[in-house]
Amino acid sequence: MTRMARAARAASVVAAGLVLASCKIPSFGAYHGNTVQGNSTYHLWQGFFIASVFVGGITFLLLGFALVRFRRRGDAIPKQVHGNTKLEVFYTVVPVLIVAVLFVFTVRVENKVDAVSNHPNLRVDVTAFQWGWKFYYPDYKVTTITQGVGAYPTLELPVGETATFRLVSNDVVHGFYLPQFDFSRYALPGVTNYFDFTPQRTASFTGRCSQLCGLYHAEMLFSVHVVTPAQFARWISNHQESQVTK
Ligand SMILES: [Cu+2]
In the reported structure, the alpha carbon of residue 175 is separated from the centroid of ligand 1 by a whole-number distance in angstroms of 6
| pLDDT tens figures, 159-206 | 999 999 999 999 999 999 999 999 999 999 999 999 999 999 999 999
Q: How many residues does the chain have?
A: 246
What does the alpha-carbon distance between residue 88 and residue 81 come to, in Å, rounded to a whole number?
Answer: 14
pTM of the model: 0.82
Kindly report the backbone phi and psi dihedral angles of residue 174, in degrees, each rounded to the nearest multiple of 5, phi listed first. -120, 170
Is the per-residue pLDDT at 19 higher than 60? no
Report the side by side order of strands in the sheet with 132-137: 193-197, 163-169, 122-129, 132-137, 142-145, 244-245
Distance 177 CA to ligand 1 centre (A): 10
The verdict on whether omega for the bond into residue 235 sits within 30 degrees of 0, i.e. cis, is: no
Q: Which residues surround ligand 1, an ion (CB under 5 A)?
A: 174, 209, 213, 220
DSSP helix/strand/coil, 184: strand
CA of 208 to the centre of ligand 1 (A): 8
pLDDT value of residue 6: 73
Give the Cβ contact number of residue 77 at 10 Å: 6
Task: Decide: 183 and 193 in contact? Cβ < 8 Å.
Answer: no
Domain annotation for the chain: domains and CATH numbers: 3-114 (1.10.287), 122-245 (2.60.40.420)
C-alpha 221 – ligand 1 centre gap (Å): 9
